[in-house]
Amino acid sequence: MPRCFWCTDDPLYQAYHDQEWGTPQRDPALLFEMLLLEGFQAGLSWITVLRKRERYRQVMHGFDAAALAHMTDERIEELMQDAGIIRNRLKLKAARRNAQAWLAVDNPGEWLWSFVGGEPKINHFKGR
């Protein structure tokens, strides 16, 4: 399979490229997971987040928005000691706030898709 220039020979990166990247997603749970992972990625490479994704699933209740919306400051401090995740207090607090905001929207997956009229946008770039 041809891959984009940014996809390295890392099997985790290749699996992400081949199975997830560029695939329109409508599952609200996965959309929420990607929202949080993108927040954790800020300032870092995506492969760093992919390598920590499974640990995030374990410590963040499978990215359950309702559980994360009630994450306490004490729990955030516990997570700050977990070397398996990106230990950034502001990003962890943002995950909690994003969960609260997610829950405040009626049908957040549909709301996200409303920005593009419910259809994926296909760009045909001439080069990178």
Per residue in 19-48, pLDDT tens?
999 899 999 999 999 999 999 999 999 999
Confidence tier at 122 by pLDDT (50, 70, 90): confident
In this predicted model, which residue has the larger pLDDT, 105 or 125?
A: 105
Domain annotation covers residue 102: yes
In this predicted model, which residue has the larger pLDDT, 85 or 1?
A: 85
Confidence tier at 123 by pLDDT (50, 70, 90): confident
Confidence tier at 56 by pLDDT (50, 70, 90): very high
What's the mean pLDDT in 71-99? Answer: 98
Domain annotation covers residue 67: yes
Domain annotation covers residue 77: yes
Domain annotation covers residue 49: yes
Please pick, among 38, 54, 78, 110, the residue that the annotation labels catalytic. 38
* pLDDT on residue 128: 60
Q: How many domains does the chain have?
A: 1
Instruction: Return the CATH number at 53.
Output: 1.10.340.30
Domain annotation covers residue 121: no
- Structural domain range at position 52: 26-111
Domain annotation covers residue 119: no
Domain annotation covers residue 94: yes
DSSP state letters, 47-99: HHHHHHHHHHHHHTGGG-HHHHHT--HHHHHHHTT-TTS---HHHHHHHHHHH
Query: Is 46 among the catalytic positions?
Result: yes
What digits encode the pLDDT tens for the residues 89-110?
999 999 999 999 999 999 999 9
Residue linked to tokens 């909690």: 96
What's the mean pLDDT in 72-88? Answer: 98
CA proximity to 108, closest of 80, 72, 69: 69
What's the mean pLDDT in 45-58? Answer: 97
Domain annotation covers residue 18: no
Query: Is 38 among the catalytic positions?
Result: yes
Query: Is 13 among the catalytic positions?
Result: no
What's the mean pLDDT in 49-74? Answer: 97
